[in-house]
A and B are shown apart, each in its own frame.
Chain A
Amino acid sequence: MVNPYLPQESIIEEVIPETPTIKTFVLRPENGLKFSTGQFIELTVPGVGEAPFTPSSSPFQTEKVEITVMDVGHVTHRLHQMREGDRVGIRGPYGRGYPLEEFYNKEVLVLGGGVGFAPLRSLLFTLLHDLSKYKRVVLCYGAKTPADIVYKGLIPQWREKIEVLCSVDRADETWKEHEGVVTTLLDKFEIDIKNSVAVVCGPPVMMKFATFKLLDLGYRPEDIYLSMERKMYCGIGQCRHCMIGGLFVCKDGPVFTYSQVKELPDIWA
């Protein structure tokens, strides 16, 4: 009998500091990991606990999987103390990722905030893998301060292939780009809204105001894709902690269109 709770042994191959509170962990699972972009895994820190993360790496790379993690809770704090060579566990992948076919031939607006960039990096790797399938890709990314920006080395590379706009809530003397919350970037360019989808991931408050802004601009609720965050244990639709109304974030999500969740209670918590 398959035991869905049993994790796969994985070795931490590399730890990449992104910001003072965010690190990317490169993991090598014993048997590799096949996943679709936007699906998530349950990561076990042995003896400590489990937490769900959406890989930030490309799904075309299956022998390694990367997660980008903020030191914010019990499990993530202990993970942040771990080093190369340490052992963790992985279960999954679980849930439904981004429905890429829905994005074909459209202008894809990717809107990220803070560590919410993690799943979007995986999505962008996927979009960049065959950019010809999409009419246009625009990335808008915001962080609190310049020091809080993740994947700093990657952004200039992407600028050569897609449009990238960055903002910080509070600029310093080094900052040459936009200052303001990430949604203010949406006033800086034109987009063919009727032929566009918006993909949003960030802290709940950012997702809330981004969604309202997108609706104001004329996006239809079914064209706004949100990564919902909830307390989660099992990852397989049983423990019920992640429920939003009658939907399981782990099984029916974690990616939902706004039209799927807009009538449900407490979606922005």
Chain B
Amino acid sequence: MEKPIVQIDNLTKRFPVGNSEFTALSHLSLTIDKGEFMGLVGPSGSGKTTLLNIIGSLDTPTEGSVEVMGQSIATLTHKQAAILRNYHIGFIFQSYNLLPVYTVFENVEFALLLQNLSADERKKWVMQALEWVGLTDKAKSKPSQLSGGESQRVSIARAMVKRPQLVLADEPSANLDARNSHHIVQTMKKLNKELHTTFIFSTHDEKVMQYLDRIVSLKDGMVEKDEAVLHIQN
């Protein structure tokens, strides 16, 4: 049996708040297998973003263990964490966070600059990523010339261009209308199927949830419910 891509055991994360501490995650255990298309749902403050940050090696656990692709997040050095993110994890943000001075092509290419790829290879990969999200014709556009939906598709291309095993998407549809929300989640779903990339969403958007194969509900930093979703084909 294939090893899970994310293995979380008894994770607790506390943040100092003044003289006391705030517990964001409490004794949370979760196993995520490769190729899953799953979501973390729950109200604000339930710990979704904190959990994504720890899985993405941007933060470390206070207690418990988190293993991503077999690497313990707690013991990673800054350099090792950066390498893990650089080669294996893609991020998609709620507000796209495209760099405004660069073109669409360069925004996507930026992710590859830290890898030792030739300019030709980078170009090939970037154009392929833009093809996945249907934006090859916008390669030379600046982010300011794009709609919200197009910007988020560029953000997806940027996350996917290095072909990571895991993509973490934090409220990716929060700033989009219904049509665009469906479009970008469908795009991600397609990539999940074609490239077998694992997607973990943080969302409370019903439109996103209907595409998820698994929904983990968080409440007060704990797993309240963990259920597989059965999709009925029309």
A binds B: no
Q: Which B residues are closer than 8 A to A by beta carbons?
A: none
